[in-house]
Structure 1
Amino acid sequence: MYEGHTIGVVVPAYNEEGFVGDVLDSLPDFVDRVYVVDDASTDGTWDEIRAHAAIERAPRAGESDDTDGQVVAIQHEVNRGAGAAIKTGYLAAREDQTDITVTIDADGQMDPGMMTRFLDPIVAGDADYAKGNRLSNPEFRHEMPRFRLLGNWMLTWLTRIASGYWDVTDPQNGYTAISLPALEAIDLEGMYEYYGYCNDILVKLNVAGMRVADVDMPATYGDEESSIEYNDYIPKVSLMLLRNFLWRLGSRYRTHPLGIAYLVGIVSGVVGIALGVRAAGATLTGSESDDGRKSLTSLVVGVVGIIVGVVLDRRENT
């Protein structure tokens, strides 16, 4: 227990033999319950988890238990993705009515000694969700590989637009803490199960009216290997963010000037592009057409509409 709050920790693990046990051993003493979720690993991860677990339970996180063991071992029968492992742990923590639930990776990149920095904003009532940020401090981000840094900045801006949290940075960070009211307010069952779960949950939190805080932390890389396939990851997450952006607008701003501005901007932009393509086709065939002028007009309206939408969005969510 920390400052009168029960603390749970979700540790998703996939092929983390040699790492997950050390992570479990290093968790602070104030942690009340640890939900270790093995996402159908093919190495010795599950055996390592079981060696640390006081109890085991089935993959369905809604099941209750009659013991007071600190470590709860949960195993997926098939590999479902990082987001699914987090969701399974969240469901278990919600079922146990844990006051604050932390997520920390099983690869040893995240320092459990920093956990109080994530808990404090929630304990103080200043935030409902706290997440790590490796990008705000140049001293912290210098260890991050360049391709990851570039991808993170790109996804930062896409997530800001999709979620409405315009000051959030490093949305891919998996070191987080969430309050029980926030966990109960979002559609946990519908949580994205791929690596973009970090981005997805931010959109869900915004729609639920929750407050988010960034926590500065260093970027640390060791001997662990990432299982992310970026040629598959980026298109999937980008498409998910587009769907979530449209869902957020429909849920919160359907008749709001913000939503109308975005809608006008998007529709005009699409029409402008379509007219531009048709104008290019007419030019190639030597046909006469004023689609070029119409395309330019539509594109200008589209850009203005989106800019107005962004300005109103920032004002509404600051």
Structure 2
Amino acid sequence: MYNGNSIGVVVTSYNEEPFVGEVIETVPSYVDRIYAVDDASPDGSWAEIQRVAKRLNADGERDGTAEMESESESEPAHAVADGGDNRRVVPIRHEENRGYGGAVKTGYERAAADGIDVVAVMNGDGQMDPTILDRIIDPVVTGEADYAKGNRLLYRDDREGMSTFRFVGNAILSGLSKFASGYWTISDPQNGYTAISRETIEELDLDEITDEYGFLNHILTHLNVNDCRVADVSMSAIYGDEESSIRYVPFIRYVSLLLLGSFYWRLKRQYVIERFHPAALFYSTGTAGLAVGSSGLAGSIAQAARGRGGFTGALASILTILVGLVSLGVAIAMDAEENEDLQCTWYEDSAGREQARSEAVAQSAQAETTESESGSGSGSESVAAADVDGVAADADAGTDAAGTDTADTTDSGSDSNTESETETDTSIEQPAEPSPARSFE
């Protein structure tokens, strides 16, 4: 349990024999159930999952942690479970390969059937830090988001572990996903470190979402159509010894076509069928303007190359392109405003930023302390001199009243000096740069 919510983690695996066991073992203890889904791997991934599950479930029975009872005795379609339903680790194996999205959906369906409140996904390749799982699930647990995902692009130091090739590919897919999904401030759509509420799983039509690697992009469009709130959570890119099996050129081509279809499907559902919105008109005008203008400009250039003029046609084509660009800009602005309330960014400092900030604050505090001690020393010397003069005056006057007045003056000076030191201490305690709080935009 985590803050009153039952937590499940779907661990997806396809040919992850060297890594999947450790991923399962390092899932935090507050997670109630782990759904380890093997997508018909030809290597020893399934045997490794069974081995780790058997040991962890046996440990859970001994210490009494395996207490949850399943609300369903049936398995999702195309899946075979290994054992009962009262264990911490539930191994599930597909009889045939269905793809990454199919593995995630199997875990979602089983977790929802078991009544798990929040379901996270951690891939079996060991590239997702289990120590930040609480940050991934927090927006969903607090109810401020229905779906949360990691984002490795929010801060520069988070991108240090990402190659230029990966970054460029991710940036391209981020731009396409913004158009398709309508979440204009959400980026890094390929990040599979996610969390979702049970209610959202039950609301989505999972059968309509692709089983392939485009699942992460495709689900965002379906979340938007269902008015689900999505949160981006900053995290660092981690790439270990695992080699990606994705062929990026075919993958980007496939996902681009998928997102194009998703874009038109979303516009039709949101801005035509459910209600008419002028964004649909501006998107149509913009697309037509760019297509007609570009085609006309290409024809005019070809005519000019053959010495047949074409200046007037080129000018008209350029104006048409400009109209198309302006229309697209208006459409994007309308679309972004319409979906503004469905997206938020969960800002968190990474360990490196937090350490750097702490060191900067410590150095600043040390410098202020040195200055304060120097100032306090001068103040003490002044007070001491005043005390000597006061004693001399008392001796000359020979009166108790004068001594009393001098003591009062000395006490007042001490109080003033104490207040000065208190103010100095207070200023030391204030950090030089406030740590960014979790905020939502």
TM-score category (smaller protein): over 0.9
| Counterpart residue identity of residue 139, structure 1 | D
| Counterpart residue identity of residue 295, structure 1 | S
Q: Distance in 2 between matches of 1:269 and 1:77?
A: 47
Q: 1:63 to 1:252 in 2, by over 3 A?
A: farther
Q: Deviations over 1:145-173 (max 9, x none)?
A: 11111111221121112111111121110
Q: Deviations over 1:182-234 (max 9, x none)?
A: 11222211112222211111111111101111111111111111111112111
Structure 2 contact 79–93 (Cα < 8 Å) conserved: no
Q: What residue is the counterpart of 1:225 in the other structure?
A: 243
Structure 2 contact 7–119 (Cα < 8 Å) conserved: yes
Q: 1:236 to 1:37 in 2, by over 3 A?
A: same
Match of 1:295 among 306, 317, 321: 317
* Corresponding residue SS for 2:207: coil
Q: Distance in 2 between matches of 1:124 and 1:159?
A: 26
Q: Deviations over 1:115-172 (max 9, x none)?
A: 1112211121111111001111112111111111111122112111211111112111
Match of 2:278 among 249, 252, 257: 257
Structure 1 contact 262–305 (Cα < 8 Å) conserved: yes
Q: How does 1:93-172 map to 2 (within 5 A)?
A: 93-172=111-190
Match of 1:214 among 232, 240, 250: 232
Q: What residue is the counterpart of 1:46 in the other structure?
A: 46
- Structure 1 residue 66: Cα displacement: 5.4
Structure showing greater radius of gyration is: 2
* Corresponding residue SS for 2:90: strand
* Corresponding residue SS for 1:259: helix
Q: Distance in 1 between matches of 2:304 and 2:21?
A: 66
Q: What residue is the counterpart of 1:24 in the other structure?
A: 24
Query: TM-score by structure 1 length?
Result: 0.92
Instruction: Please tell me the root mean square deviation across aligned C-alpha atoms, in Å.
Output: 2.3
* Corresponding residue SS for 2:287: helix
| Counterpart residue identity of residue 113, structure 1 | T
Structure 1 contact 13–37 (Cα < 8 Å) conserved: yes
Which has the higher mean CA deviation after the structures are superposed, 5-14 or 187-196? 187-196
* Corresponding residue SS for 1:182: helix
Q: Deviations over 1:215-261 (max 9, x none)?
A: 11111111111111112111011111111111111111122011111
Is 1:175 matched up with 2:187?
A: no
Q: What residue is the counterpart of 1:77 in the other structure?
A: 95
| Counterpart residue identity of residue 5, structure 1 | N
Which has the higher mean CA deviation after the structures are superposed, 200-209 or 76-85? 76-85
* Corresponding residue SS for 1:189: helix
Q: Distance in 1 between matches of 2:220 and 2:249?
A: 23
Residue ranges of structure 1 left out of the alignment (5+ in a row): none
| Counterpart residue identity of residue 187, structure 1 | D
Q: Distance in 2 between matches of 1:85 and 1:265?
A: 38
Structure 1 contact 207–251 (Cα < 8 Å) conserved: yes
Structure 2 contact 152–236 (Cα < 8 Å) conserved: yes
Q: Distance in 2 between matches of 1:36 and 1:189?
A: 21
Q: How does 1:53-64 map to 2 (within 5 A)?
A: 53=53, 60=77
| Counterpart residue identity of residue 216, structure 2 | C
Q: 1:83 to 1:178 in 2, by over 3 A?
A: same
Q: 1:111 to 1:61 in 2, by over 3 A?
A: farther
- Structure 1 residue 60: Cα displacement: 2.0
Q: Distance in 2 between matches of 1:294 and 1:183?
A: 50
Higher relative contact order (Cα pairs below 8 Å, separated by 6+ residues): 1
Query: TM-score by structure 2 length?
Result: 0.68
Which protein is richer in helix relative to its size? 2
Q: Distance in 2 between matches of 1:215 and 1:208?
A: 21
Q: Distance in 2 between matches of 1:153 and 1:271?
A: 28
Q: 1:99 to 1:63 in 2, by over 3 A?
A: farther
Q: 1:17 to 1:275 in 2, by over 3 A?
A: same
| Counterpart residue identity of residue 218, structure 1 | S
Give aligned-pair identity as a percent. Answer: 46
Structure 2 contact 178–185 (Cα < 8 Å) conserved: yes
